[in-house]
Amino acid sequence: MCSSKNKSLVFLILCIQIIGILSSRKCNRDPIVTTKEGTIRGVVDELVDGSTYYRFRGIPYASAPVGNLRFKAPVPPQPWQGIRDASNFGNICSQFNETYQGDEDCLFLNVYTKTLSKNAKTPVMVFIHGGSFSQGSGNFFLPDFLLQHNVILVTLNYRLEMLGFLTLDTPEVPGNAAMRDQVMALKWVQNNIVQFGGDPNSVTIFGESSGAAAVVYHMFSPMSIGLFHRVIAESGSYDLARREGEKERAFRAGKVLGKETNNVQELLDFFKSLEASKLTNLTIATLTDDEKFRGLPAKFVPSIEKKYPGVQAFMDEDPTKMLLEGKINRVPLMIGYNSGEGLIMTQYHAALLDVYNKQPSFYVPKEIVDRITKDQLTDFGSRIKKFYVGDRDITKEDLGIIRDIQTDIHFSYTTHRFADLYSKVCQQTYMYRFDSVTELNVIKNSLNLPNVGGVSHADELFYLFYNYLNEKPYKGQKKLRDIVFKVTKLWADFAKTSLPTPTHLEPKWQPYTVQGKVYYIIDQQFSQGKYADKERMEFWNKLYEEAGLPHIAN
Q: Of 232, 216, 238, 239, nearest to 431 (Cα)? A: 232
Residue 57: partners with Cβ closer than 8 Å, 6 or more residues away: 42, 86, 87, 88, 89, 90, 108, 110, 139
Residue 468: partners with Cβ closer than 8 Å, 6 or more residues away: none
Q: Of 99, 136, 305, nearest to 212 (Cα)? A: 136
Tell me the C-alpha distance between 526 and 19, whole Å: 53
Tell me the C-alpha distance between 118 and 368, whole Å: 51
132: left (phi over 0), alpha (psi -120 to 50) or beta: left
Q: Is 51 a catalytic residue?
A: no
Helix (H, G, I), strand (E, B) or coil at 470: coil
Q: Which residues partner with 207 through β-bridges?
A: 128, 233
Checking DSSP bridges between strand 39-41 and strand 32-34, what pairing results, if any? antiparallel
511: left (phi over 0), alpha (psi -120 to 50) or beta: beta
Are 152 and 124 in contact, with CB atoms under 8 Å apart? yes
Active-site choice (137, 209, 210, 303): 209
Tell me the C-alpha distance between 260 and 138, whole Å: 36
Checking DSSP bridges between strand 198-208 and strand 230-234, what pairing results, if any? parallel
Angle (deg, nearest 10), helices 246-256 and 264-273: 50
Q: In three state form, how does the secondary structure of 5-20 look?
A: HHHHHHHHHHHHHHHH
Tell me the C-alpha distance between 217 and 377, whole Å: 29
Are 121 and 229 in contact, with CB atoms under 8 Å apart? no
Tell me the C-alpha distance between 305 and 244, whole Å: 10
Q: For 303, how many CA atoms within 13 A lie in the half-sphere containing its CB?
A: 25
517: left (phi over 0), alpha (psi -120 to 50) or beta: left
Tell me the C-alpha distance between 510 and 41, whole Å: 43
**b/e map of 361-387 (b: 16 or more CB within 10 Å)?**
bbbbbeebbeebeeebbebbbebbbeb
Which residues are tagged catalytic? 209
